[in-house]
Structure 1
Amino acid sequence: MLSRVLKSHSANLGVIRRSFGTFSPVYNSSSSGPETTSDDKKSAKFSTPQEYIEQKKLERAQEEIFQQNLLEEEFKYQPKYISPNEVDPITGRPIPINVELLKYKPLNLPKTHGHEVAKLKFRGYNEDSLIRAAEFAARSAYYLGIPTNKITSLKTEKRLYTVIKSPFAQAKTKQNFHRTTFNKELVAFDANPEVLDLWLSFVNKHAIEGVEYKASMTTHESLDYNKQIDALAADEFELPQAYEGTTDPVAKKVEELLKSDTFKQFLEEKK
């Protein structure tokens, strides 16, 4: 479960260009009225390149007005670039480095001590979705300063299901269904527990539909951890605050059981 940059030329990055690309977006214009023809609906579904450029210019002008009203001082836009001479024709600015790096495989920070702190596994039926999910997690770990290994592909599971093609039990015609499940893994090292929780929460917030995420974390405790647990008295256990002021009858019953003398006696016997 999920509870918890770079010189001017790309050759100096030491990264490998990848062939995988994201989906191209579809830009919709304003919806047509109920009495439009099929040709009008077809032309209104997609914007022409010139209309898209004009729309972007309008959005840029609105954004500039918003920043002028919001900020007292001039907004200093100073991102780092790989290719500062290449300007985006729509925004009129060079492409920022974090966007330029999407053309390459994710970067990995070097390990400090090599202590494994988390292992994130991805599972699904669409390999492209797994690549996007794993690369998103690897890129976010890089920007948070978490060392990770390269994304590794685990064993692909293949299953064949054969069922009868008719509702009759004596039917002779059968039908085959083939299912392929892909698995990938990403391991994180040498990360602070708070930063690790922030990373996993960010990955969980932007999870891709159709991909199963599974995270296992490794924590370090002192050698006398069991003695510290045994030294805890029964009266030092506090009730969860989630049960206070609740109207759920089940939660009220749980709170009643936790406050009962039988439960306290059970804790004392377990010590």
Structure 2
Amino acid sequence: MAKDLSLGIWANIFRMLKDRNIWTRACTITLVGPTSVFMAAYNKDTCALLILFFFVSGQLEWQRMKRHIKVVVLMEGDASEMTCSLLLAEYAVPVAPHDTATLFRVFFASFVVFAARSGLERFHTMIAVYLLVRAVFTLYNGHRSLTEGQRAGEGLNGHECQRRPASSGNAEHTLQQSFLRMELFCSGKSFTNLSLDLLLECFGFLWVTGVTYPLLIYDVSGTGRPWILASLVSNFAVDIVAMLWGRVLRARSHRLSPLISPNKSVEGAVCWCPYQLLYFCNHTALYY
């Protein structure tokens, strides 16, 4: 039993070394990691510029994930009524491009970085203003007509819906169009769609805003920069460790959520938490 387990792990390791995605991520971290550490340690302005980049990237990625999660949750109860399934085993994210409204929301939200650079009071004010404005616009957007959602639902059940794309060349375009029709169909569930959209928006904004916290403690003597560097380096290191651990236990791992994130495993998430704590504590101890 132990021998079979060992052979399986080594086979997964050799298969993993042939994966181009791992080498791409390794090269990215090799270049981005030292640059990020240098910008974070140089001064507060370069650190703010670095955090602005991370914040905008995180917001754009969350907007994609939010749309995907919302469609999966709202369509789950109607799965039996559909004549076909558009949720593929490896659901591509993003499945639809960003619109102008999304880019404007991300631009408006990015001002929280400059607020954090200016101080705690302005930081709290900017968060409150963004959440208030976002809630008002979400409620205003919730009054769209139900007929569009009904027409989208009819289109989903029609002949345009296919289990698999006929050609691999237009597979991405077909999947994007299918996702947009599903998203429009979900808009017919007015109250549920509205509540879920507001909940995910508030959660995502507060979650991504966490990258701005280092600016609030940057000027604290003996604490600011060590904590920032420890968090930055540990995040890069732990991300790789969690991915490798999940790949090594590929056959024996358990998926975190197949519909929302098919490539994430429970084992990788569990490994991430204690390793992050240990790495952060050890890295911080070097400065004291």
What TM bracket, shorter-length normalisation?
under 0.3
TM (norm. structure 2) is 0.18
Identify the structure with the greater strand proportion: 1
Identify which of structures 1 and 2 has the higher relative contact order when contacts are C-alpha pairs closer than 8 Å and 6+ apart: 2
Identify the structure with the greater helix proportion: 2
Larger radius of gyration: 1
TM (norm. structure 1) is 0.19
